[in-house]
Chains A and B, each alone.
Chain A
Amino acid sequence: MATELQTELAPERAAPKPAQPERGSAPANKPARAGRGALAIAGEKLIEFVIRLCGISAIIFVFSIFFFVFREAAPLFFQKHEPPAQPEAVVERHADDHSPAAKKFALKEFLFSKEWYPTSQSNVRFGVLALIVGTLSVTALAMIIAVPFGLGAAVFVSEFCGGKIKETLKIVIELLAAIPSVVWGFIGLTVMNPIIQDLFHAPIGLNMLNGAILLALMSVPIMVSIGEDSLKAVPDSFREAGLALGATRWQLVYRVLLPAAKNGLLAAVLLGVGRAVGETMAVLMATGHAVNIPFVTADGSFNPLFIFEPVRTLTATIAAELGEASEGSQHYRVLFLIGVLLFSMTFIVNLTADLIIRGIKKR
Chain B
Amino acid sequence: MIAETTNRLFAETPLVRKKQRREWVARLIFGMMAAAMIIPLLLIIGYLVYQGAPLISWDFLTTNPVGGMRRGGIWSALLGTIWLVGVSLLIAAPIGVMAAVYLNEYARDNWFNRIINLAVINLAGVPSIVHALFGLGAFVLFARMGRSVLAASLTLAIMTLPVIIASTREALASVPRTFREACWNVGATRWQTIRRIVLPNSISGILTGVILQVSRTAGETAPIMFTGAVFFRSISEGDFFAYGLKEQCMALSMHLYTVTTQVTGAPKPLPYAIAVVLLGTVLLVNATAIVLRVYLRSRKKW
Binding site for B on A (CB under 8 A): 32-33, 44, 47-48, 50-52, 54-59, 61-62, 64-65, 68-69, 71-72, 148-149, 152-153, 155-157, 160-161, 169, 171-176, 178-183, 185-187, 189-191, 217, 220, 224, 248-251, 253, 271, 274-275, 277-281, 285, 315, 318-319, 322-323, 327, 335-336, 339, 342-343, 346-347, 349-351, 354
Contacts and interface: CB of A to CB of B under 8 A. Distances in A.
Contacts of A157: 34
Given A51-B102, A68-B142, A319 B225 contact: yes
Contacts of A318: 129, 132-133
Given A71-B137, A174-B290, A182-B221, A343 B27 contact: no
Given A172-B38, A315-B129, A350 B138 contact: no
A226 B286 CA distance: 19
Interface string B63-105: 0000000000000000000000000000000111011011100
B125 A281 contact: no
A280 B65 CA distance: 26
Contacts of B33: 148-149, 152-153, 156
Contact of A65 (B25, B134, B191, B215): B134
B283 to A, nearest CB: 6
B137 A72 contact: yes
Nearest to B118: A354
Given A178-B215, A323-B226, A62 B256 contact: no
B182 to A, nearest CB: 15
B125 A346 contact: yes
A59 B116 contact: yes
B37 A280 contact: no
Contacts of B257: 182, 185, 281, 285
Given A59-B119, A64-B134, A156 B31 contact: yes
Nearest to A339: B133
Nearest to B22: A250
B253 A248 contact: no
12 contacts: A54-B99, A55-B99, A56-B102, A156-B33, A169-B38, A174-B290, A175-B283, A181-B128, A187-B44, A224-B37, A274-B125, A322-B136
Contact of A55 (B47, B103, B275): B103
A183 B261 contact: no
Q: How would you classify the secondary structure of chain B's contact residues: helix, strand, loop or mixed?
A: helix
A281 B107 CA distance: 37
Q: How would you classify the secondary structure of chain A's contact residues: helix, strand, loop or mixed?
A: helix
A284 B37 CA distance: 23
A342 B132 CA distance: 12
Interface in B186-242: 186-187, 189-192, 215-216, 218-222, 225-226
B221 A181 contact: yes
A295 to B, nearest CB: 24
Interface string B280-302: 00110011001000000000000
Given A68-B134, A169-B34, A48 B190 contact: yes
A55 B102 contact: yes
Given A54-B99, A57-B99, 15 more contacts: A50-B98, A55-B107, A61-B119, A69-B134, A71-B142, A174-B290, A179-B282, A181-B220, A187-B48, A224-B37, A253-B26, A278-B128, A322-B226, A343-B130, A350-B121
Contacts of B116: 55-56, 58-59
A118 B116 CA distance: 38
Nearest to B114: A358
B126 A278 contact: yes
B127 A47 contact: no
Nearest to A317: B129
B137 A58 contact: no
B221 A180 contact: yes
B189 to A, nearest CB: 6
B263 interface: no
Contact of B37 (A48, A173, A327, A346): A173
Nearest to B225: A319
B58 to A, nearest CB: 22
A160 to B, nearest CB: 5
Given A59-B115, A175-B41, A180 B219 contact: yes
B51 to A, nearest CB: 8
A336 to B, nearest CB: 6
A315 B128 CA distance: 9
Contacts of A153: 30, 33-34, 36-37
A47 B36 contact: no
